[in-house]
Chains A and B, each alone.
Chain A
Amino acid sequence: DVKVTQSSRYLVKRTGEKVFLECVQDMDHENMFWYRQDPGLGLRLIYFSYDVKMKEKGDIPEGYSVSREKKERFSLILESASTNQTSMYLCASSLSGFEAVGTEAFFGQGTRLTVV
């Protein structure tokens, strides 16, 4: 089974802190994603990566950055946490390919981040 592991289930940080959310997948997937989930807004894509050291902005990248130094690890960084970044953060990974069967996303258990 594919396993996507996020470093923390719950996190409480102070406004202005630099926050690192880590995600590791064990299935050699090319693609990795960071989403945030807020009630009524679904899952919104923050950043994604299709290869090591490659990254592209999603729909809401402001206030975030990412790092992918190794294929299995994708980190989300909040440079200066703010209260409006309080949310559930979900990491996912998938095989590459646009239409091939088997390119579904596998999610981690999520990190509920509270910024106070």
Chain B
Amino acid sequence: GQQVMQIPQYQHVQEGEDFTTYCNSSTTLSNIQWYKQRPGGHPVFLIQLVKSGEVKKQKRLTFQFGEAKKNSSLHITATQTTDVGTYFCAGPTSGTYKYIFGTGTRLKVLA
């Protein structure tokens, strides 16, 4: 079946350092979504990318969708302690209602 892998699984950074997580799907995604889950919380939607090669920014966060619509990345510039959490990518397999989530990247920011 379809798999969505994220790397790295864990990342510890010093506050102020940059952070990137990569998402790779075994099949084409009609769109890619990113979610953040704070410790003890539930996933919360951050952004959706639909077009091949699309790049979107939210303040210090930059999201990219690959040309083949099979990979994506999230880059955080100058991390802050509020960025702590697990970041998931997700998307419905083309032509289906199935939302498949990535394995997640857990970010810890050291003050």
- CB within 8 Å of B: which residues of A? 31, 33, 35, 40-45, 48, 50, 56, 58-59, 90, 92, 94, 96, 98-99, 101, 103-110
Contacts and interface: CB of A to CB of B under 8 A. Distances in A.
B39 interface: no
A59 B1 contact: yes
A99 B97 contact: no
B92 A98 contact: yes
B94 interface: yes
Nearest to B3: A59
Q: Is the interface of B mostly helix, strand, loop or mixed?
A: loop
The 8 closest A-B pairs by CB, nearest first: A42-B103, A43-B101, A104-B45, A107-B42, A50-B97, A42-B104, A98-B30, A99-B30
B47 to A, nearest CB: 9
A96 B48 contact: no
Nearest to A109: B42
B48 to A, nearest CB: 6
